[in-house]
Structure 1
Amino acid sequence: MLEEAEEIGRRAKRARLRLGMTQADLAVDLGRTQGWVSKMERGQIELDRVGLLNQLSAALHIHPNDLIGRPYVASAGENQWQTAASSIVRELRRFDLTPVFDGTPRASGALWSEMTRMHRLRDAAANVAILRALPDMLREARALAEVSAGHEREEAFALYGVMCKFAHTAAHALGHPELVAMACERAAWAARLSGDPVLGAVVDWMRAWDMWATADWTDSLALLDKALGDLERDYDRGDQLTVRAWGSLHLRAGVSAARAGDPDKAQDRVAYAKTAADRMDAEAGPQVYDRHSLTFSSGNVAIHAVSVALETGDQRRALELNARTDPHVVTVLPNSRQGHHHLDLARAWLWDGNRAKALTELETAERLAPQLIRNHPIARSTLRSLVYAERTITRERLRHMSDRFHLDE
Structure 2
Amino acid sequence: MLEEAEEIGRRVRRARLRLGIPQADLASALGRSQGWVSKMERGLIELDRVGLLNHVAAELHIHPNDLIGRPYNSSPDENRWQVAASSILRELRRYDLTPVFDGPPRPAQQLWREVTRLHRLRDTASNVAILHVLPDLFREARALVEVSEGHEREEAYAIYAVCCKFAHTAAHALGHPELVAMACERAAWSARLSADPVLPAVADWMRVWDMWATADWADALTLSDKAITSVQQAYEHGEPLAVRAWGTLQLRAAVSAARAGRASEAEDRIGYAKDAAEHMGAYAGAPVYDRHSLTFSAGNVQIHAISVAMELGQQGRALEMNRRTGLALVASLPHSRQGHHHMDVARAWLWDGNRDKALAELETAERIAPQLVRNHPIARSTLRSIVYAERGVTRAKLRSMSDRFHLDG
What's the Cα RMSD here?
A: 0.6
Aligned AA for 2:104? T
Aligned to 1:312: 312
- Return the TM-score normalized by structure 2: 0.99
Matches within 5 A, 1:87-106: 87-106=87-106
Q: In structure 1, what is the Cα distance between the partners aligned to 2:282 and 2:301?
A: 16
CA change 1:285–1:237 in 2 (3 A) is closer
- Return the TM-score normalized by structure 1: 0.99
Aligned to 1:164: 164
Aligned AA for 1:200? P
Q: In structure 1, what is the Cα distance between the partners aligned to 2:327 and 2:284?
A: 24
Aligned to 2:264: 264
Q: Is the 8 A contact 1:240 1:287 kept in 2?
A: no
Q: Is the 8 A contact 1:154 1:195 kept in 2?
A: yes
Aligned to 1:394: 394
Matches within 5 A, 1:314-353: 314-353=314-353
Which aligned segments of 4 or more residues in structure 1 are displaced greater than 4 angstroms?
A: none
Aligned AA for 2:88? I
Q: Is the 8 A contact 2:238 2:283 kept in 1?
A: no
Q: In structure 2, what is the Cα distance between the partners aligned to 1:283 and 1:187?
A: 29
Aligned-pair CA distance for 1:404: 1.3
Aligned AA for 2:308? V
Q: In structure 2, what is the Cα distance between the partners aligned to 1:280 and 1:182?
A: 32
SS at match of 1:222: helix
- 1:163-216: per-residue Cα shift (whole Å, max 9, x none)? 000000000000000000000000000001000000000000000000000000
Q: Is the 8 A contact 2:362 2:379 kept in 1?
A: yes
Aligned to 1:27: 27
* In the alignment, structure 1 residue 130 sits paired with structure 2 residue 130: yes
Aligned to 1:84: 84
Aligned to 1:362: 362
For structure 1, the 5+ residue unaligned runs are none
Q: In structure 1, what is the Cα distance between the partners aligned to 2:145 and 2:322?
A: 46
Aligned to 1:374: 374
Aligned AA for 1:322? N
Q: In structure 2, what is the Cα distance between the partners aligned to 1:221 and 1:343?
A: 25
Matches within 5 A, 1:2-401: 2-401=2-401
Q: In structure 1, what is the Cα distance between the partners aligned to 2:17 and 2:287?
A: 55
Aligned-pair CA distance for 1:403: 1.1
Aligned AA for 1:8? I
My pick for the range that moved more, 395-404 or 236-245, is: 395-404
Q: In structure 2, what is the Cα distance between the partners aligned to 1:88 and 1:125?
A: 19
Aligned-pair CA distance for 1:286: 3.9
For structure 2, the 5+ residue unaligned runs are none
Q: In structure 2, what is the Cα distance between the partners aligned to 1:64 and 1:126?
A: 23
Q: In structure 2, what is the Cα distance between the partners aligned to 1:151 and 1:349?
A: 52
Aligned AA for 2:383? L
* In the alignment, structure 1 residue 408 sits paired with structure 2 residue 401: no
- 1:203-258: per-residue Cα shift (whole Å, max 9, x none)? 00000000000000000000000001111111111100000000000000000000
Equivalent residue pairs, number: 409
Identity %: 74
